[in-house]
């Protein structure tokens, strides 16, 4: 999934404005420029032509996305004095997004399975655990865009309907 789509989804889930997104980035020790946050939500994005001639929109950088996801965790869970901050992981994959959101929202495997089930996607606990494994593990599985989109949609429904 594109990084800007992930950030937009999280923005909707938590009902954030641009200033709050900048604050989340600062929590994760990233100093955004004035235009970086606005560019994420810019409808008229710049395009980039690839070698094969296809034209695609420029995506939000992985570094910014990784810091934003860490900022979400720090905002929702707080920074730990016991553990030093982990280095950011780039490129940001769907598996990393799923892991970070599981931590940020304190979700158990059963919670994620229920969220996906509510969105019409049936997944077993074994399949889910494969998404959280180290990418060198023999049972590692890439989290597809469809799984992540359904998870984000279901998480949005759950978070926006529950009392805060």
* List of long-range contacts for 135-142, beta carbons under 8 Å, 24+ apart: 135/95, 142/93, 142/94, 142/95
List, for residues 118-158, the tens digit of each pLDDT value: 999 999 999 999 999 998 999 999 999 999 999 999 999 99
**pLDDT tens, 23-37?**
999 999 888 887 888
pLDDT 10s digits, 39-60: 777 755 555 555 666 655 677 8
Distance CA 48, CA 56 (A): 5
Q: Give how far the C-alpha of residue 50 lies from the chain's centroid of Cα atoms, to the nearest Å.
A: 25
CA-atom Rg of the chain in angstroms: 16
Q: Specify the 3-state DSSP secondary structure of 56.
A: strand
HSE-CB of 114 using CA atoms within 13 angstroms: 7
Please give the model's pTM, rounded to 2 decimal places: 0.85
């Amino acid at each position: 999934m594109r990084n800007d789509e992930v950030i937009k989804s999280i923005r909707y889930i938590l009902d954030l404005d641009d200033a709050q997104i900048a604050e989340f980035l600062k929590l994760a020790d990233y100093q955004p420029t004035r235009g970086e946050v606005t560019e994420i939500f810019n409808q008229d994005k710049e395009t980039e032509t690839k070698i094969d001639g296809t034209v695609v929109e420029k995506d939000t950088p992985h570094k910014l996305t990784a810091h934003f996801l860490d900022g979400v965790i720090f905002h929702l869970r707080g920074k730990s004095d016991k553990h030093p901050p982990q280095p950011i992981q780039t490129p940001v994959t769907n598996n990393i997004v799923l892991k970070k959101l599981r931590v940020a929202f304190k979700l158990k495997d059963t919670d994620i399975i229920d969220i996906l089930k509510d969105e019409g996607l049936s997944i077993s606990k074994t399949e889910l655990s494969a998404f959280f494994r180290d990418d060198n593990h023999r049972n590692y599985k890439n989290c597809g865009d469809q799984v992540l989109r359904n998870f984000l949609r279901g998480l949005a429904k759950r978070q926006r309907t529950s009392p805060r």
